[in-house]
Amino acid sequence: MAVVELTQITKAYGAGENRQTVLKDVDLSIEAGEYVTILGPSGSGKSTLMNIIGCLDIPSSGNYHLQHQDVSQLSEDELARIRNQEVGFIFQQFQLLPRLTVLQNIELPLIYAGVSPKERRRRAVDLLTRVGLGEKGSVYPHQLSGGQQQRVAIARALVTKPTLLLADEPTGALDQKTGQQIMGLFHELADEGKTIVMITHDITIAKQAKRIVRIEDGQVQEASHP
């Protein structure tokens, strides 16, 4: 069953002579439980593609179905719900809120989802333990290493039990050893059947997924297995 179904997706900015086409006629299907990397150099369109998959942006033309929902037909409130509950985002720079503790950062998406305080805390504690930081719940992000902050970000992305995990260069701000540890965590999540889409410019990272989608000059060039 396809979780992500993109058909003839085009994204352009500006108009007339200033019109710039960033994505052109992209077709892409991602099945439930797949671990896919979208590989491309800077300026290839991969970040724009990620934003469309994550419902952070809408295409200029084409069709996008997420879990069989036609995204173009959804209201802004429905898109916000999808971003909060259906997609777990993991960013290169972690995006943790500095004035919240680690546990409060993980709980935050559940507050927006209307989950009770007791259930929020239970899920946050469970996931913090899952990523190996069970003793760090009361500390603040600046008291953690980069690798630890990324683990917290992964726990936050998982807390709503999303359909799709969307990771944008998740090891880009980490040293090689720490990056390998984070990739090990993604392998564990993939083995558990999570649907993962990872954006990267690094072929070494890309090869660790089950399938590589190459993008260049706004077009998907090929989809292959490492």
Distance linking the first and last C-alpha atoms of the chain: 22
Q: Reply yes or no on whether the pLDDT at 209 is more than 70.
A: yes
Residue 22 tokens read as 């960033």
Please report the pLDDT score of residue 223 as a whole number.
67
Q: Which domains does the chain have, with CATH numbers?
A: 2-224 (3.40.50.300)
Closest CA to 169 of 196, 148, 146, 200: 200
Q: What is the pLDDT of residues 121-165, one digit of tens each?
A: 999 999 999 999 999 999 999 999 999 999 999 999 999 999 999
Interatomic CA distance for residues 201 and 84, integer angstroms = 26
Alpha carbon distance 153, 215 (integer Å)? 26
| 48 contacts: CB under 8 Å, gap ≥ 6 | 11, 22, 23, 57, 218
- The C-alpha torsion from 145 through 168 and 69 to 210, rounded to 10°, is -100
Q: pLDDT, tens digit, for every residue of 150-206?
A: 999 999 999 999 999 999 999 998 999 999 999 999 999 999 999 999 999 999 999
